[in-house]
Amino acid sequence: MAAEIIDGKAISQQIQAEIKTEVEELKQKHNLVPGLAVVLVGEDPGSQVYVKNKGIACQKAGIKSLEFRKPADFPESELLQLVQELNQNPEVDGILVQLPVPKHINEKKILYAIDPAKDVDGFHPFNVGRLMIGDPIYLPCTPAGIQELLVRAGTKIEGAHVVVVGRSNLVGKPIAMILVQKAKNANATVTVCHTRTPNMADHTRQADILIVAAGKPKAISGDMIKPGATVIDVGVNRLETGLCGDVDFESAKLVAGKITPVPGGVGPMTITMLLKNTLRAARLRLEKSGK
């Protein structure tokens, strides 16, 4: 029997509708509109599409979107100055500098310059540290989206054995940390595999929940999956035959109990969780103002 498909697009639309309702309440009760500033340096095609989609999502949710598009040779010093101006701007609740940045710019220096209170991507060391100790302000968007997919798909996380394939700072490490916490929608036992893990299939076949962010097309095949497991495929790879994930979907869907497709699985959730973090930032600003 084929696996149940976890429809990330439908789930993201459901959450965005919830966000829109909350944004409208903020506006009516407190005359406050959440603001998200997005900075794009250069002309990376993927980044341009992503920024465009963020703008559309903000508009639909009622969030104010401010876009700053700069040429590829934009100086690092001026980018740092722009970030500081956005830090001080009272109408900006969240700041996102679209990655990757051109090579002449120190990515860490830029990310670390963002006010942690406005770091809606959850990449600043302050926010990473808060996540580590189980007291997060903002969860990184893609890992937060994965957790939401699991919850809304009805997958039991508490007590489950989660195997994460990939140890990146963007997905692998934070999703492992989120799901291992002593917290609601967590309390899992987590194993992290990576390129130096021998006999990886021995680990993946034990997973009740398998999260794959390997950065390699079709790295996980059906014979590496525990029957009935929930499989979350984070990868997006462009091949001549079209888009595919890090999981071989055709063989995996015959073994898994639930599975995300590519596209239409994890992808739509990233922007949605960015909106959710921006809304949270606005609420925190409201609390701080004492209104």
Q: What is the 3-state secondary structure (H, E, C) of 103-158?
A: CCCCHHHHHHHCCHHHCCCCCCHHHHHHHHCCCCCCCCHHHHHHHHHHHHCCCCCC
Instruction: Indicate if 141-267 has the same CATH topology as 32-115.
Output: yes
Phi (first) and psi of residue 35, to 5 degrees: -125, 130
Residue range 237-258: mean pLDDT, rounded: 94
How many angstroms separate the CA atoms of 136 and 127, rounded? 7
What CATH code is assigned to 141-267? 3.40.50.720
pLDDT in tens, 57-81: 999 999 999 999 999 999 999 999 9
As a dihedral over the C-alpha atoms of residue 284, residue 282, residue 71, residue 54, rounded to 10 degrees, the angle is 120
- Whether 240 shows a pLDDT value over 90: the answer reads no
Active site residues: 54, 98, 121
What is the residue extent of each domain of the chain? 32-115, 141-267
The radius of gyration of the chain from alpha carbons, rounded to an integer in Å, stands at: 19
> What are the b/e assignments for 230-245, b being 16+ CB within 10 Å?
bbbbbbbbeeeeeebb
pLDDT in tens, 145-189: 999 999 999 999 999 999 999 999 999 999 999 999 999 999 999
> pLDDT category, 291, cuts 50, 70, 90?
low
> pLDDT category, 37, cuts 50, 70, 90?
very high
Architecture of domain 32-115: 3-Layer(aba) Sandwich (3.40)
Helix and strand counts by DSSP (H, E) for the chain: 10, 11
